[in-house]
Structure 1
């Protein structure tokens, strides 16, 4: 039997079997059962219908992980409208671009961010503006709760197909204008199934929302956590003290955290005298993207007593395509080395690392190739960008999405990201991995954060340059000199890989999801050159 895969099934499933169980712990302290959550979503569906929203219309949500985001998302999707989450760290001009590009019909904005929309509302096609606190917002904004109270819980749910686009996730925009990643009922549903498997979700899990809901729909957790009948614990931003307090008071069992967040928690743990890092439940944590340093993994698992997983992917892929949680391959001797790898492909995903001719690289953990993937969780297309879509799926290997990351493959088939294609440093004809250098520098006690990019060199074409945030925070008098850091990398790595230029900075430019925006550093470094790569 074949039935359509629809994201509306997740909330339907939860309210059918867990109607009286706690669904959401709101950031404001409000608590909702799945029955109450479902009714609020129903009322929002009806409210949207009353305002002329139809299947296929776009409903944007600008919200810092409150229950309103979950209610607005499901309320929109239940009538076939396209959930379009917005990064709450963007500027008004960014929102003007996205709302216009997607042709957004309705904006639901948290009161803290509504002003950014208010300044550009006359320049976008959006007609309906809703907020969770209309009294706190200037301009003509409707109240979310008033709209729910005035609406009936009854609405007409249209017929939907699994290949209908149901969400558009805009990329973080590390290069140029953000692109709208179109994801269908099918891609979202199958990805949520995979998340449930690899994060080992169960109905008694308590999930803490440290990961932005706007980021790839919270890595699919708005679906997976809901469908399994677990509890959402919402937040308004992330600070180490509030995270630790919530973990212990709400008996959190699972959260996701970028390496930067893990490091903040480690600093808090040490500065606060090693407080309890768990309540009644054991804690699992998943990190993603750049590999956390081995020291971070060791501290999280040995000091916090949490179980850490490391996954890899992109907005275009759901994101989950690989994971390093290979229990049959992990022992105490290799635990840290394996867990910092991006891992191997998950079920139903064809993940390959290929050379410029589209051929698989050998499993020698030395030969670089680009990561490409084919799978049911991969995006349908970029919104209104057919050329970018074609390029993403046809560069080295036709029909595979090209991640833009360079990796090696070990004897077990586990990949390790070594660099972005555009970030590889070619110095005197030798390839140098900026990530390898960053990992080495990060292990130095005097380095709080670091980014390595190619810098122009008359002698070598390019040479590595490190932008270092000193652990003391004092860029004028850092606790270690540039010469000492150069000597340190020369001792840790092959001599030709040593970082030869170091600049101390107070902060590094970051996206909302914690990814370092190296392109800003590169543009700054190559401003006087006629190209952004060296001729080495």
Structure 2
């Protein structure tokens, strides 16, 4: 029997079997059962439908990890409309590009970030503007609570196919303009099932939202936690005191985060007498640049949490690899922390291979470096209205496989470990940063003659951008601009997490005979004291 896989099934299941169970602990102090959560979602679907939102229309959500984000996602998807979550750390011009690129018809924005949309309101095709606190927002915005309070929980749910696009997640524009990653009901559903299995999600889990919901739909946890009938504990950001409070008060059992969050929590714990667990045993999954072994050891030995590393990409849902491999890692061995920070093995129904330039799989000798390729049901449909980029992503070395651009080795058990990247990408605190975008920005400064940006090792962030700058006077000892001035220059033009804080003035940049900057040489020098050329937290 073939039954279509639809993302609406997750909330439908929770309402059927867990209707009276608590579903959400909101940042407002409110608590909602799955019946109450579902009723609010239905009312929002009715509101959006009354505003002309139809199947296939794009609706953007700009919101931290609040209950409004969860309600908006399901309210959109129940109409067959396309949920388009936006990174709340960007600049107005970024949103202008994305809203135009996707042809977004409606936006639901948190009151803290609505001004970013208001600034470009006249430049985008959006017709409906909704916020969770209209009184706190300048401009003509409709209030979320007022709208759903005045609506009946009835709407017309269209027929949907599992092969239809249901979300668009924008990449960070690491190789040009951001690309909209199209994900179908099928890719989202199967990815969420993989997450449920490999993260061992149960119906009695209490999940704390520190991972942004906009990051690939919260890595699929907006579906997995909901579908299992578990509990969402929402947050407005990462605050160590509040995280530990929620863990103990709500008996949190699971959270996902960037490695920098673990370092932040450890710093706070060392300065404050706090409990690291409630009544439930804790587990944590980290993704992005792997944390150092010392952080993993602290999390497991001092916090008492079970740690695992996840590896992925927006294009893949993101799950590509996981170190949640209990039979391949001896929990009594001193080597376990080094193994747990590896990007791990492929999840179920997924093929992952590390290949050379000819597309041939490299030996599992933990020495031979190749590019990671992946194929599986969780891999994207393609890039929104970018067929050329889509074709390249799936054909460069081997047809039908997604090319990650990450270079890795494989040990004898098949566990991969990233060594470097082919892409001009920096992963800092779990966020992807385009070195090309930073270079373009710095080139606009009148005192910069040439520039190259690479990832530099950071104890706190794993990686941080570093700019090698050739000043216009060709004198790196006495440049006409200071490091602080260039930092301020990028801060004025880019999102906060992209700001360049490290600058080194140089006479020349290493280049090929054709004039291409040899960033590999810069990275080799910058990372010579590290185990590899990727961040380790």
Q: Deviations over 1:176-234 (max 9, x none)?
A: 32110000000000000000001100100000000000110000000000000000000
Corresponding position of 1:344: 345
Distance 1:178 1:523 in 2: 28
- Shift in CA distance, 254/448, structure 1 to aligned 2, threshold 3 Å: closer
Distance 1:341 1:212 in 2: 23
1:527 Cα deviation after fit: 8.6
Is 1:118 the counterpart of 2:103? The answer is no
Residues 355, 368 of structure 1: 8 Å contact kept: yes
DSSP-derived class of the 2:105 partner: strand
Is 1:213 the counterpart of 2:213? The answer is yes
Is 1:308 the counterpart of 2:293? The answer is no
Distance 2:14 2:505 in 1: 50
DSSP-derived class of the 2:409 partner: strand
DSSP-derived class of the 1:303 partner: helix
Corresponding position of 1:414: 415
Residues 256, 286 of structure 1: 8 Å contact kept: yes
- Shift in CA distance, 260/386, structure 1 to aligned 2, threshold 3 Å: same
Corresponding position of 1:227: 227
Is 1:13 the counterpart of 2:6? The answer is no
Residues 282, 306 of structure 1: 8 Å contact kept: yes
1:239 Cα deviation after fit: 1.0
Distance 1:535 1:81 in 2: 43
DSSP-derived class of the 1:341 partner: coil
Corresponding position of 1:128: 128
Is 1:358 the counterpart of 2:359? The answer is yes
Corresponding position of 2:475: none
1:271 Cα deviation after fit: 1.2
Distance 1:57 1:140 in 2: 22
Distance 1:526 1:63 in 2: 45
Distance 1:182 1:278 in 2: 38
DSSP-derived class of the 2:395 partner: coil
Is 1:102 the counterpart of 2:87? The answer is no
Corresponding position of 2:517: 532
Q: Deviations over 1:447-475 (max 9, x none)?
A: 88654879699xxxxxxxxxxxxxxxxx9
Distance 1:172 1:526 in 2: 31
Corresponding position of 2:53: 53
Is 1:263 the counterpart of 2:257? The answer is no
Residues 174, 519 of structure 1: 8 Å contact kept: no
Between stretches 323-332 and 221-230, larger displacement belongs to: 323-332
DSSP-derived class of the 2:265 partner: helix
- Shift in CA distance, 33/448, structure 1 to aligned 2, threshold 3 Å: closer
Residues 423, 453 of structure 1: 8 Å contact kept: no
Distance 2:19 2:144 in 1: 23
DSSP-derived class of the 2:252 partner: coil
- Shift in CA distance, 535/68, structure 1 to aligned 2, threshold 3 Å: closer
Residues 276, 303 of structure 2: 8 Å contact kept: yes
Q: How many pairs align?
A: 470
- Shift in CA distance, 126/451, structure 1 to aligned 2, threshold 3 Å: closer
Corresponding position of 2:164: 164
DSSP-derived class of the 2:106 partner: strand
5 Å-filtered alignment, 1:256-335, equals 256-273=256-273, 275-331=274-330, 332-333=332-333, 334-335=335-336
1:172 Cα deviation after fit: 2.3
Distance 2:357 2:158 in 1: 46
Residues 65, 212 of structure 1: 8 Å contact kept: yes
1:396 Cα deviation after fit: 1.1
Residues 526, 532 of structure 1: 8 Å contact kept: no
5 Å-filtered alignment, 1:234-245, equals 234-245=234-245
Distance 2:519 2:97 in 1: 33
The two structures have a TM-score, normalised by structure 2, of 0.83
Distance 2:249 2:260 in 1: 23
Distance 1:450 1:26 in 2: 33
DSSP-derived class of the 2:372 partner: strand
Residues 61, 85 of structure 1: 8 Å contact kept: yes
1:320 Cα deviation after fit: 0.7
Corresponding position of 1:487: none
DSSP-derived class of the 1:393 partner: helix
Residues 24, 233 of structure 1: 8 Å contact kept: yes
1:374 Cα deviation after fit: 0.4
Is 1:40 the counterpart of 2:25? The answer is no
DSSP-derived class of the 1:416 partner: strand
DSSP-derived class of the 2:53 partner: coil
Corresponding position of 2:402: 401
Q: Which runs of 5+ in 1 are unaligned?
A: 425-433, 458-474, 477-504
5 Å-filtered alignment, 1:19-38, equals 19-38=19-38
Q: Deviations over 1:351-374 (max 9, x none)?
A: 000000000011111111000000
Distance 1:355 1:176 in 2: 25
Structure with the larger RCO, 1 or 2 (CA within 8 Å, 6+ apart) = 2
Distance 1:413 1:110 in 2: 43
Residues 291, 341 of structure 1: 8 Å contact kept: yes
Residues 174, 424 of structure 2: 8 Å contact kept: no
- Shift in CA distance, 380/423, structure 1 to aligned 2, threshold 3 Å: closer
1:289 Cα deviation after fit: 2.0
1:110 Cα deviation after fit: 0.5
Distance 2:461 2:192 in 1: 35
- Shift in CA distance, 390/526, structure 1 to aligned 2, threshold 3 Å: farther
1:518 Cα deviation after fit: 10
Distance 1:329 1:248 in 2: 32
1:397 Cα deviation after fit: 1.1
Distance 1:202 1:147 in 2: 34
Q: Which runs of 5+ in 2 are unaligned?
A: 426-453, 471-482, 522-537
Corresponding position of 1:254: 254
Q: Deviations over 1:369-407 (max 9, x none)?
A: 000000000000000111111111111111100111000
